[in-house]
Amino acid sequence: MFVLSFGMQKSASLLLTRYTINLLRMALPSNGHLEFEALIRDGVLQGGGCFPWGGWEYKKDLLCDLADRHGPFVVKSHGALTQPVQRLIEAGAKAIYSMRDPRDILLSLIDHGALNKSRGGGVFEEHTNVENTLPKVMEICVCAYTWFLSDLPCIFRYRDLVSQPHVEVGRLAKHLEIDASDEIIDRIVEKERRKREKGKDCFNTGLLTRFRDEMSPDGIRLCNDTLGFYIEQLGYSLD
């Protein structure tokens, strides 16, 4: 077994991935996560850390063999639910998916881009306002909707990950069929909290709902008009 930790950008996908990695390390001493990251570090797979790209999903035999020999590991991605990814799930991979209100994702993308620009450049710096960020958020929503309709992943929502982390880590352990004590869950949550720092590792504010306070009425109206179908279908309200 290995874990496919997918999610919408800026939806606490890194937080969910870290919870999952720490769950494997603390509850399952025999795991293959370091060996998986070595595949990326050594150039067998393209990517960084546990975030591969460039056709990794076609390496089913490699990934399944690694899990059989060393134990479970975590693969992080924002990718689509493609046929190769579905085949990995059919082969025994466990899928989890993080979601967030698209309007809050939009604001977080703008924040992330501004931070990168202040540091000399990086991803999302072209996103500076509601209008020029909406196409990217639409792309994210379309991808998320496909995952949501599939009923394949266990869904984790940003609000719950931030407001009730102990409950969500417990639900994660249950989905992965890992026996984790309350003590282990406490350690996992506290370890992440100690390392959290604004502007570091994709963490911006940690607020549950931003757009109602930070977005103009015209901005909210434009988001609702453009993304309304996906906002509602993904479980959020236009009200």
The whole-angstrom separation of Cα 124 and Cα 198 is 17
What does the pLDDT look like over 31-80, one tens digit per residue?
A: 999 999 999 999 999 999 999 998 999 999 999 999 999 999 999 999 99
Strand order in the sheet with 3-7: 74-77, 3-7, 94-99, 154-157
Is 239 within a domain?
no
Q: What is the pLDDT of residues 83-96, one digit of tens each?
A: 999 999 999 999 99
Count of domains forming the chain: 1
Structure tokens that stand for 84 in this block: 């190769």
Q: What is the pTM of this model?
A: 0.92
**What are the φ and ψ backbone dihedral angles of 148, each rounded to 5 degrees?**
-60, -40
Q: Is residue 238 part of a domain?
A: no
**pLDDT tens digits for range 135-192:** 999 999 999 999 999 999 999 999 999 999 999 999 999 999 999 999 999 999 999 8
Range of the domain at 149: 3-233
Tokens of 225: 């008009």
- Give the DSSP letter string of 71-126: ---EEEE-----HHHHHHHHTT-EEEEEE--HHHHHHHHHHHHHHHHHTT--TTTT
CATH code for the domain of 155: 3.40.50.300
What are the tens digits of pLDDT across the range 176-219? 999 999 999 999 999 988 876 554 444 445 567 899 999 999 99
